[in-house]
Chain A
Amino acid sequence: MTDLALLALDLGTGSVKALIVDSNCRVLASGAAPYPVERPHDGWAEQDPDRWWHASVEAARSALTAAGSPEIAAIGISGQMHGTVLLDAAGRPVRPAIIWEDRRSADQVRSLTKQIGADRIIELCGSALATGFQAATLAWLLEHEPAALAAARAVLLPGDYLRFRLTGDLVTEPSDASSTLLFDIRTRNWSNEILVAIGLDRSLMPQVMESTKITGDLTSEAATALGLPTNIPIAGGGADAPLAALAAAATTSDTLLLTISTGSQAILPATQPVVDPRGRIHTWCSLASPGSALPGWYQMGATLASGRALRWLREELLANSAAPLESSVAAVPPGADGIVFLPYLNGERTPHMDPEASGAFIGLRAQHGPAELSRAVMEGAAFSLLDAFSVLQELGGSPERIVLAGGGARSRTWTEIVASVFDLPVDPLEESEGSAMGAAIVAGASLGWFDLAEGAARSARIGPRIVPNPAAVEIYRELFPLFQHTYRALRDDFHRLGQIAARARSTSINA
Chain B
Amino acid sequence: MSGTTGTDTLILGIDLGTTSTKAVAYDVRGRMVATAAMPTITHYPRPLWAYFEPDELWNAAASAVRGVVEQIGDPARIESVAVASFAEAGVPVDANGNPTYNTIAWFDRRSIPQADWLLETVGEQRLFERSGLALQPIFTLCKLLWLKENEPEVWARTRGWLMADSYIAWRLGGAPASDYSQAARTLAFDLQHLKWDSDLLAQVGIDPAIFSPVMAAGGAIGTVSTEGAAATGLVKGTVIGVGGHDHVCGAFAAGVTEHGAVLDSMGTAEALFVALDAPIWDPDLGRMGYTQGAHVAAGQYYGFGGLYTSGASVDWIRNITGREDRRALAGAAAEIPPGSNGATFFPHLRLSSPPNIDPKSRGAFLGLTTDIDQAAMVRSVYEGIAYEARMSIEPLVQFAGSASLPDITVIGGSSRNELLLRIKASVTNRPHHVLGLHEATALGGALLGGLAASIYRDAADVKATVEVDSNTIEPNPDAAAFYEDFFQNVYKQLYATLKPLNHAIYDQVVDLAGEATGP
Residues of A within 8 A of B (CB): 305, 308, 312, 316-319, 321-322, 330, 333-335, 337-338, 340, 345-346, 358-366, 369-370, 373, 413, 416-417, 419-420, 469, 471-472, 474-475, 478-479, 482, 485-486, 489-490, 493-494, 496-498, 500-501, 503-505, 507-511
Contacts and interface: CB of A to CB of B under 8 A. Distances in A.
B369 A335 contact: no
Interface in B288-330: 309, 312, 316, 319-323
A322 B322 contact: yes
A489 B508 CA distance: 18
B422 A511 contact: yes
Interface of A is mostly: helix
B338 A358 contact: no
Interface of B: 309, 312, 316, 319-323, 337-342, 344, 349-350, 362-370, 372-374, 377, 422-423, 426, 475-476, 478-480, 482, 485-486, 489-490, 493-494, 497-498, 500-502, 504-506, 508-509, 511-512, 515-519
A472 B519 contact: yes
A493 B312 contact: no
Main DSSP-derived SS at the B contact region: helix
Contacts of A359: 365, 367-369
A358 B498 CA distance: 15
Contacts of B493: 493
Given A338-B362, A345-B370, A482 B505 contact: yes
A510 B362 contact: no
Given A319-B374, A338-B362, A510 B479 contact: yes
Given A360-B364, A508-B337, A475 B322 contact: no
Given A493-B497, A509-B479, A500 B369 contact: no
A254 B369 CA distance: 35
A497 B516 contact: no
A382 to B, nearest CB: 10
Contacts of B489: 496, 500
Which of A364, A413, A475 has the most chain B CB atoms closer than 10 A to its own CB? Answer: A364
Given A338-B505, A363-B505, A511-B478, A501 B519 contact: no
A330 B368 contact: no
B519 A420 contact: yes
A497 B364 contact: no
Nearest to B312: A366
Given A312-B370, A318-B320, 18 more contacts: A319-B323, A335-B508, A360-B364, A363-B363, A363-B509, A364-B362, A364-B365, A370-B322, A419-B519, A420-B519, A490-B497, A493-B494, A497-B490, A500-B342, A501-B341, A503-B482, A509-B338, A511-B422
Contacts of B500: 485, 489
Contacts of B494: 493
A66 B309 CA distance: 58
A346 B502 CA distance: 24
A358 B494 CA distance: 15
16 contacts: A316-B377, A321-B322, A321-B323, A322-B322, A358-B367, A358-B369, A360-B367, A478-B512, A482-B508, A485-B500, A496-B490, A501-B340, A505-B337, A509-B338, A509-B482, A511-B422
Contacts of B519: 330, 334, 413, 416-417, 419-420, 469, 472
B485 A500 contact: yes
B509 A360 contact: no
A482 B504 contact: yes
Nearest to B364: A362
A510 to B, nearest CB: 7
Given A486-B501, A489-B497, A500-B490, A345 B368 contact: yes
Contacts of A416: 518-519
Contacts of A490: 366, 497
B362 A500 contact: no
Contacts of B506: 338
A366 B374 CA distance: 18
B423 A346 contact: no
Nearest to A316: B373
A501 B518 contact: no
Contact of A317 (B342, B364, B377): B377
Nearest to B335: A510
Contacts of A322: 320-322
B337 A472 contact: no
A497 B342 contact: yes
A364 B364 contact: yes
Contacts of B479: 509-511
A509 B479 CA distance: 6
B316 A366 contact: yes
A360 B320 contact: no
A485 B373 contact: no
Contacts of B365: 359-361, 364
Contacts of B366: 358, 360, 362, 490, 493-494, 497
A498 B498 CA distance: 18
A363 B362 contact: yes
Nearest to B324: A321
Contacts of A312: 370
A317 B501 CA distance: 24
A498 B512 CA distance: 35
A143 B481 CA distance: 37
B465 to A, nearest CB: 36
B369 A319 contact: no
Given A471-B518, A511-B476, A346 B370 contact: yes
Given A358-B367, A358-B369, A511-B422, A366 B490 contact: no
Contact of B364 (A308, A358, A361): A361
Nearest to A373: B320
Contacts of A482: 501, 504-505, 508
A373 B377 CA distance: 14
Nearest to A320: B322
A105 to B, nearest CB: 20
A497 B367 contact: yes
B374 A317 contact: yes
A375 to B, nearest CB: 9
Contacts of A369: 319-320
A492 to B, nearest CB: 8
Given A420-B519, A485-B501, A505-B337, A475 B476 contact: no
Contacts of A497: 342, 344, 366-367, 490
Contacts of A365: 349-350, 362-363
A501 B30 CA distance: 46
A370 B342 contact: no
Given A312-B370, A486-B501, A500-B342, A366 B350 contact: yes
Contacts of B511: 478
A366 B349 CA distance: 5
Given A362-B501, A417-B519, A493-B493, A509 B367 contact: no
Nearest to A482: B504
A334 B320 contact: no
Nearest to A357: B369
Interface-centre pick from A340, A362, A472 (highest chain B CB count, 10 A)? A362
A362 B498 contact: yes
A493 B368 CA distance: 12
A486 to B, nearest CB: 6
Q: Across chains A and B, which 10 residue pairs bring their CB atoms closest together, nearest first? A: A322-B322, A501-B342, A511-B479, A471-B516, A359-B368, A364-B363, A504-B339, A497-B367, A511-B476, A416-B519
B496 to A, nearest CB: 10
Contacts of B497: 489-490, 493
